[in-house]
Every structure is written in structure tokens, then in C-alpha cells.
């Protein structure tokens, strides 16, 4: 069961990197909501609209997800991980991390993400590089 959720988490991230709205739409629950780092609630339609252009390898030359933790409670699962992003704008590089918690529910044998919540991580709490699950350089997955 956790292998299936681990694969869904990898797909979730890959969908972001590739701006794949169709694949992402397929893993979202009809009542999906995203809670942004500022506390805004974004409904499914607006979330998917933003998904189409959310990642730009020119602005985000490095991206990874790390420190993955998955817990299953019956037909509900918490998928948590941290993203590291290196951004570049006007020649200025920035580094930041956000932790996300994706809540999945299992209905009719399929896991669907019903909520994603994103929280900024202070540098003192950055997970170490040895917890990296997968990294992307200029939008390409590294092995």
C-alpha cells in the first residue's frame, strides 16, 4: 500500500515538473483543495489552471523532494515530504524549502488526493541531502 502511495507521490511531483494537467487531474479527488503557504484556499479548478504553468525550468533550475514519510490510517493516508527549490531571477539565486502534506482517501480501490497543504520550512529545519528521493535539474529527473 505504501508503495502505491510512494508512486503517486512521485507522479504528483513529476506532473508538477512537466506541467502535466491531465495526469494530475486523474489523481485528484473531485473535492480537492490546496492550502498555500500564505493560508489561501485554492479550489480544484483554479489549482489545475495554475498547474499548467507552475513549473518553469528557466526560473527553477534545481528542484528535489526529500524526507518522504507516508502513514496510512485505514482509507486515509498522509503523504509528507519536503521540496528544495533553487530559483534564479535576474541573475539572483534563491534557495528555499517547503514541506507538504497531501491527504489521500481511498474510494472504490483507488487513492485520490483530497487536500494538499504547503508550509515554508526555516533553514534550521531543512532535511539533509541524504534524504533526497529524486532531484530534477533544468526539469530533467536525475538518477
Beta strands in 1-142 (DSSP E): 28-35, 41-43, 62-73, 76-89, 92-107, 110-121, 132-137, 140-142
pLDDT at 41: 98
Higher pLDDT, 128 or 143: 128
Residue 35 has pLDDT above 80, yes or no: yes
Q: Which domains does the chain have, with CATH numbers?
A: 2-142 (3.10.450.50)
Give the DSSP letter of residue 50. Answer: H
pLDDT at 76: 98
- Condensed to tens digits (0 to 9), the pLDDT of residues 75-107 reads 999 999 999 999 987 888 999 999 999 999 999
Rg from Cα positions in the chain: 15
Residues 46-57 have a mean pLDDT of 94
Residue 1 has pLDDT above 80, yes or no: no
pLDDT at 74: 96
pLDDT at 50: 94
Residue 36, Cα to own-chain centre: how many angstroms?
12
This prediction's pTM: 0.93
Amino acid at each position: 500500500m505504501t508503495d502505491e502511495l510512494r508512486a503517486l507521490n512521485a507522479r504528483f511531483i513529476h506532473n508538477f515538473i512537466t506541467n502535466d494537467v491531465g495526469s494530475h487531474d486523474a489523481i485528484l479527488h473531485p473535492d480537492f483543495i490546496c492550502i498555500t503557504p500564505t493560508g489561501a484556499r485554492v479550489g480544484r479548478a483554479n489549482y489545475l489552471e495554475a498547474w499548467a504553468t507552475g513549473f518553469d525550468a528557466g526560473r527553477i533550475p534545481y528542484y528535489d523532494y526529500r524526507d518522504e514519510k507516508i502513514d496510512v490510517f485505514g482509507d486515509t493516508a498522509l503523504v509528507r515530504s519536503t521540496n528544495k527549490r533553487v530559483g534564479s531571477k535576474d541573475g539572483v539565486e534563491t534557495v528555499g524549502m517547503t514541506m507538504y502534506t497531501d491527504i489521500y482517501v481511498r474510494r472504490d480501490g483507488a487513492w485520490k488526493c483530497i487536500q494538499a497543504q504547503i508550509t515554508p520550512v526555516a533553514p534550521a529545519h531543512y532535511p539533509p541531502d541524504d534524504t533526497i528521493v529524486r532531484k530534477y535539474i533544468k526539469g530533467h529527473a536525475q538518477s
